[in-house]
Structure formats: C-alpha cells, structure tokens
Amino acid sequence: MTAHTLDETLARARSALTMPTLYWLGQGSWTAGQRPLPTPGRPFDPAAALAELKAENPTKHAAYTAGLQRLGLTAAELPRSACDCSGFVAWCLGLPRHPMTLDGRADQWLYTDSIVADALGRHDAFTVLDRAQVGALLVFPSAGRARPVGHVAWITEVADGRATRILHCAPQNFEAPPLPGRPRNAIAETDTAVFDGETAADTRVVAVNAFLAA
C-alpha cells in the first residue's frame, strides 16, 4: 500500500479532491494491523461525534454548531468520512498512522509535533530543507494552549524557493465554497495563507526521506 515515488504520492493526494471528507482532529489513515483504507478519512458518524463533543467540550461544540448553521448544513448532511491534516499525509504515503518509528521512538503517532521533532532530530523519516520543493511538506507544530493544533500540508507549487500552493486537509477548506463539479471537502489545494501570520516563524519545510523512492 505504500506509495513509493513522489509522483505516485502526489497523484494519490490529488485523488482525494473528489472524496468528500470532513475535518475532525485525530481521524484519518489507519492503525497498523488494520486493513488499509481506500479513502483518507476513517468511517465517521457526525451526529454521534457532535453529541460526544457536546458532553466533553460545550464551547467547542457550540463553535461547530455555529459553523454548520453558517453553511446551512445539518449533521446528517456531512460526509461520513473524517480526517485531519496528519492523517491525510499518512494516507497519501500509504502508511498506517500508528505506530511509526519517528525520532527514535517506535510507538509514535504521525502528527505535526512528531514530524517536526524527527525532522529536527534523528531524521528517521523527515529532514528539514532550506528551500521549498514540490512534494515536500510545510508543517508547524502545536504550541500548548496558545496554539493547541499544528498543521501540515503537501507543497504542490514553488516560486523562488518558496511554497505558493499546498494540498491539505483543513476545516476552513470544508467551509469554502466547492469548485464547480467538486464536493464540499476538507481536502483542497489552496494558497499558503494558513502558514502565514503568527505561525510563519515556526513553519518548516520538511522532506519525506524514509518512504519515497527517487
């Protein structure tokens, strides 16, 4: 199931543009020993997930509900497949998300913080680059309460050594109007605005060096 070349990996990533997917933190790809999934998202029950969120985090539930109201959608109309940004990257590579050997640990989850730690550390799977290149990743880690969630995306276009277009799974992608003939989808190819502003100083360009053949 592993994607062995850069072209295969990016083609796999772009195939997800036609697969309706909801962003939900912690979802996406599969666990070692499970059957690989044909879609980046895991099977998902939005109504049940929202009910659980309401009990655990009413404030976050209210924000999700407000978002649905803005879009004119109900839980029943949401995709039954959910993913987050790191789950999408793992799926594109054709790999289970857990366990993986990252930064010397064989029990790691693939997520933004473990990607950055490995890229800055042992380079078991990732290496920091000085310049952007197509097929590398843009990633920033979480920063505690101030920024509880990091983000990661595939670089799909570069100009003068800087990423100009990315392919990623993000909640704002689902909220954006879909392109003609495309489903509403958390997976989209966009500009790099999500990596600007306060996250820019922590953003790294990271090469995937353990899974892709030349």
For the chain, the residue count is 214
String of b and e for 188-207 (b: at least 16 CB within 10 Å)? Answer: bbbebebbeeebeeebbbbb
The residue-averaged pLDDT of 58-86 equals 93
- Work out the pLDDT band at 1, boundaries 50, 70, 90: very low
In sequence order, the 6+-apart residues with CB closer than 8 A to the CB of 94 are: 1, 2, 3, 9, 12, 36, 211
pLDDT at 4 over 70: no
- Work out the pLDDT band at 3, boundaries 50, 70, 90: low
Q: What is the Rg, in whole angstroms, of the alpha carbon atoms belonging to the chain?
A: 17
CA nearest to 134, candidates 153, 119, 108: 153
Q: Which among 67-76, 158-167, 203-212 has the top mean pLDDT? A: 158-167
Half-sphere exposure of 134 (CA within 13 A, CB side): 13
Amino acid identity of residue 118, one-letter, is D
Here the tokens at position 145 are 């309460």
Half-sphere exposure of 168 (CA within 13 A, CB side): 26
Q: How far is Cα 140 from Cα 16, in angstroms, rounded to an integer? A: 22
* Mean per-residue pLDDT of the chain: 92
The pLDDT of residue 209 is: 87
For 170-208, the pLDDT digits (tens) are 999 999 998 888 889 999 999 999 999 889 999 999 999
pLDDT at 213 over 90: no
For 18-32, the pLDDT digits (tens) are 999 999 999 999 999
Q: Which residue has the tokens 């595939």?
A: 154
Here the tokens at position 10 are 């990016």
pLDDT at 2 over 70: no
Q: How far is CA 126 from CA 75, 117, 123, in A?
A: 37, 9, 5
Helix 6-15 vs helix 85-92: crossing angle, to nearest 10: 130
Helix 112-120 vs helix 85-92: crossing angle, to nearest 10: 60
